[in-house]
Amino acid sequence: MGRKVTIASATLNQWALDFEGNLDRILQSIMDAKEMGATFRTGPELEIWLLSERRIWMLNGYNCQDHFYESDTYLHSWEVLAELLSAPLCKDMLIDVGIPVMHKNAAYNCRLVFLNKSILLIRPKKVLAGEGNYREHRWFSTWKTTDISYNWPAVPFGDAVISTLDTCIGFEICEELWCSASQHIPLSLDGVEIICNGSGSHTQLRKNYILTDLVENATMKCGGCYVFSNLRGCDGERVYFDGTSSITLNGAIISRTKQFALDEVVADQPISIGQEVIAATIDLEDIRCYRYSKRSLSDLASGSQSYPRIAVDFLLSQDFDAILPTVHPISFTTLTPEEEIVQGPACWLWDYLRRSGQGGLFLPLSGGIDSSSTATIVYSMCRMIVDNIQRIGEKSYHQNIVIDKAVSACLEIFSVITGLFPKFAANGGCARQNMALQNIQARVRMVAILQFVMNKSIW
């Protein structure tokens, strides 16, 4: 029995109505993990969700909203899981996926672990997010009991851990990392060495600083390996999931994905990939030695709660791994708030544009701070696209449209009716007149350009 384990974390860019691409991305992430030598793969929160129409599969992630009220959602999710279970690609790999599950007429946000066509554990979420942009209590229930329930023979449902022949794996789900009663502390005290967290965490200014501290501190206190997996992209809602999946060992990050990226699958074209998979080889003895050295940890562990253990006849390590190199802590630069402002909305805008099926953006510029800021974000998006694919299509162009006659016509109509003729502040008008004239200019410009765009697309 060896002691070195290679684990993989997948960052997926899932689409809300992509009938084939989302399943392909999950399978592709499993293939990538295997090519990296991983024997365990984890993915983001609710990466499996399916709506079936004419037997065409659609997997989707987090923002399904009221579709979670539909029984078909859960039925078809199991059908998609069956596709994964039967895929030869998944053989001899321990795989952890996110899936919604209906249990005793209650819906749960779950992690599901399977190996070689057998479901080992369904672990429901214990703490739901209900602040800010999140409304998980609207669709899901929290799992509050410590008992293990059996929905099918030999398939445990509840808060348990996976015990392989060489290590022990536990689970957190998104909000459980952020709350005051995080699960990674009692899991570590019970001897769990690898803790996985499948998340759907959206971008927010300076949030990445907090996330980095959380995943580092999760293993700095008690030791262990923390595998964090997050979604990426705009899956039809107002938020943007910013990736930043990571693998942390004993308080130090040893592998990490990009925070913002424009990745997407383009079939048979080597442009970019719709997922980003990271892998790291760790020495389990590093975890054990780290914990041995903390005597207070040993004292706490002797009186800690015990989790139900699901015994699995499977080795994550290899028999002969003496020459297998392990990874070391990495250095990385966290984006400043200004960089997040420029890159985050630009990535969301690109995702929204390509998913809408439109051919481009319509950006009227009035010269004010609002339109100038929007133009800056669009410029950032364009630069990121160029840097990402290293090629550019048809160049954009700028066209001056003189709207003086249209503005004068509006003012003449106004003066005929009211007998008044507003002036700009530079010409002696008051602030209210100045604002009214600026609004007229903006509206005329908008209508003129919109008609130009619409007619051009028709003719």
CATH code at position 147: 3.60.110.10
Query: Can you state the angle between helices 295-302 and 284-292, rounded to 10 degrees?
Result: 90
| Domain hosting residue 123, numbered range | 4-311
Using a pLDDT cut of 70, give the percent of the chain over it.
Answer: 85
β partners of residue 107: 102
* Same-domain status, 85 and 180: yes
Query: Could you give the residue ranges of the DSSP H alpha helices within 19-127?
Result: 21-35, 71-86
Beta-strand pair 40-42/309-311: unpaired
Looking at the structure, tell me whether residues 24 and 60 fall in a common domain.
Answer: yes
Indicate if the pLDDT at residue 398 is higher than 80.
no
Assigned domain for 317 exists = no
> Is residue 140 domain-resident?
yes
Same-domain pairing of 268 and 360: no
Q: pLDDT, tens digit, for every residue of 438-451?
A: 888 777 777 776 66
Indicate which residues carry an active-site annotation. Answer: 45, 125, 174, 366
Does residue 55 carry a pLDDT above 50? no
Match 């998979």 to its residue by tokens: 277
Question: Where does a domain end: 311, 329, 363?
Answer: 311
Structural domain count of the chain: 2
Question: Are 243 and 276 within 8 A, CB to CB?
Answer: yes
Predicted confidence (pLDDT) per residue in 161-186, tens digit: 999 999 999 999 999 999 998 999 99
- Same domain membership, residue 409 and residue 303: no
Q: Are residues 98 and 237 in the same domain?
A: yes
**Are residues 248 and 369 located together in one domain of the fold?**
no
> Cα separation of 305 and 187, whole Å?
9
From residue 29, alpha-carbon distances to 7, 32, 279, 351 in Å are: 12, 5, 11, 20
Together in a domain, 222 and 359? no
pLDDT at residue 77, as a whole number: 82
Same domain flag for 288 and 343: no
CB 59 within 8 A of CB 26: yes
Rounded Cα gap, residues 99 and 107, in angstroms? 11
Residues 307 and 402 in one domain: no
Does residue 149 or residue 92 have the better pLDDT? 92
Residues 223 and 270 in one domain: yes
How many Å apart are CA 47 and CA 232, to the nearest integer? 11
Flag whether 330 is in a domain. no
Q: Is residue 329 part of a domain?
A: no
Same domain for 286 and 358?
Answer: no
Q: Which pTM does this prediction carry? A: 0.81
Determine the pLDDT at residue 188: 94
Same domain? 37 vs 167: yes
